[in-house]
Structure formats: C-alpha cells, structure tokens
Amino acid sequence: MAENCIFCKIIKGEIGGNFIRRKKDYVAFKDINPKAPVHVLIVPVKHFASLENADDKDKLLLGDLMIAVRDIARKLKISESGYKIVINNGEDSGQLVFHMHIHLLGGWQKVSHWKV
C-alpha cells in the first residue's frame, strides 16, 4: 500500500473499482478510459512502481499475472479473436499510474467501427 496511489485506493476499496476479478494477490478491473473495446487492467495487490522495481522474489507473482491475463481473456471471450498486452514502464513509455499493471486490450471484432 502506497499513499496517494490510485490503484492502491481502488484495491483497498476507497475508490470504486468495477472488479472483474479479485484474488488475494491481484485484481482486475476495466480501464476508465478504454483504448480498445475490451480494456482491462490486471494489477498486483503488492505495490511496486513498475517492472523495473519488481523483485526477483516476485517471479511467481509475475507468472500468476500472466496466467490471470490468459484466463480473463477467455472469460471476456477475446481469446480466439486475439488480444494485446502492454506494460508501460517509466516516463518515456507514457506510464501514468506508478503501480505496476498489465493492460489487456482486445475485442476489436466486436465493434466494427472501432478506430485505433
């Protein structure tokens, strides 16, 4: 838990998060400003700013996050059509929220008029 971290506040329930999945070690919720028809953030409960700040001991957690992406993509029915995952790390990448998270983006076939 880090003070003034918006994702820690969502995880703690201080700010409303429309959780798609809530587990002991991570949560998943819809991005407030979606860049794709399906845009979900997978966020570890443990606060660390970016992948750069991940510890070697976080190996299992990072693996769990990837498996969560796979399962959530299946749940949201975008596995067959395909999806992208993005992790922004640091200022140059455009990272805005400095609590590590994975963007899961897909579902373009669901919306024929979607423009990237």
Stretch 16-35: interaction string toward ligand 5GP, x if CB under 6 A: -------------xxxxx--
Q: How many helices (H) and strands (E) does the chain have?
A: 2, 5
Rg (CA), the chain: 14
Contacts of residues 56-62 at CB distance under 8 Å and 24 or more positions apart, as own/partner, are: 61/25, 61/26
Closest to Zn ion by CB, 47 or 110: 47
For the window 73-112, what string marks contact with ligand 5GP as x by the rule CB under 6 A? ---------------x-----xxxx---------------
Any catalytic annotation for residue 101?
yes
Interface residue list for Zn ion (CB under 5 A): 2, 5, 7-8, 47, 99
CA angle 23, 61, 12 (to 5 degrees): 40
Rounded CA-CA distance 17/35 in Å is 18
Which of 47, 99, 101, 103 is an active site residue? 101
Q: Which residues are catalytic?
A: 101
Residue ranges binding ligand 5GP (CB under 6 A): 6, 29-33, 88, 94-97
